């Protein structure tokens, strides 16, 4: 099976809105879901399964199923929730997310992440800009993960990323790599051309 090349289009911004927010809104509209309002919502609610199908990520490797949950945490810099089913032995190649700090919880099965085996109930926090890879165990894995969109600092006035390190995630801000070292296509809000030149000096 080829390496998994993650697609982070959900954290890109289109017309001033994160794509992940737009994907959820459009799925709810297409499924004709009423506003949730102030009530408990579950995966068993009528119409939610259709929404989940509409929110499945395209272009995944054979056997991998990744779906965004119709839950947006915060409206400014949103956090998105996903559930991913990974087949046995599937390898996610080493990569990093400059925008997103990620929390992963293994629901079932196992993965080996940067040399550490994680099984059911284990979790990992990956700060933005920190490279990582993982491989599913012999029985595959089901993983809940949350991306904190804009987990670093995608404001073009900053020349370097702000890493949301552990412990505490956003409570521990550490200096990150220069933005000039990261391809502009990886940014939610690419720095302006003049800012990119300044960062490269």
Q: How far apart are CA 171 and CA 163, in angstroms?
A: 10
Positions of the chain with pLDDT lower than 50, given as ranges = 1-4, 193-201
Q: Which residues are 81's β-sheet partners?
A: 146
Task: Give pLDDT, residue 198.
Answer: 43
Q: Which residues are 103's β-sheet partners?
A: 125, 146
Question: pTM of the entire structure?
Answer: 0.80
Tens of pLDDT, residue by residue over 80-119, are 999 999 999 998 888 888 778 889 999 999 999 999 999 9
Task: Count CA within 13 A, CB hemisphere, residue 146.
Answer: 15
Q: How far apart are CA 125 and CA 105, in angstroms?
A: 9
Tokens (6 digits) for 114:
């940067």
Q: How far apart are CA 73 and CA 75, in angstroms?
A: 7
Task: Give pLDDT, residue 88.
Answer: 95
Task: Give pLDDT, residue 75.
Answer: 66
């Amino acid at each position: 099976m080829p390496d998994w090349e993650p697609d982070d289009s959900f954290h890109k911004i289109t017309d001033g809105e994160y794509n992940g927010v737009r994907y959820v809104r459009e799925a709810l509209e297409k499924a004709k879901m009423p506003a949730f309002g102030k009530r408990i919502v579950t995966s068993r609610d009528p119409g939610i399964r259709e929404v989940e199908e509409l929110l499945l990520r395209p272009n995944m490797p054979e056997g991998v199923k990744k779906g965004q949950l119709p839950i947006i945490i915060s409206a400014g810099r949103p956090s998105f929730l996903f559930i991913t089913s990974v087949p046995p032995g599937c390898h996610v190649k080493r990569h990093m997310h400059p925008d997103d700090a990620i929390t992963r919880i293994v629901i079932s099965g196992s993965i080996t992440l940067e040399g550490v085996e994680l099984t059911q109930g284990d979790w990992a926090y990956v700060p933005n800009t920190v490279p990582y890879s993982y491989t599913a165990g012999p029985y595959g894995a089901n993983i809940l993960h949350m991306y904190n969109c804009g987990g670093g600092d995608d404001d073009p006035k900053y020349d370097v990323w702000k890493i949301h390190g552990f412990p505490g995630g956003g409570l521990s801000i550490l200096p990150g790599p220069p933005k000039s070292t990261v391809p502009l296509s990886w940014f939610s809000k690419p720095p302006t051309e003049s800012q990119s030149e300044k960062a490269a000096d």
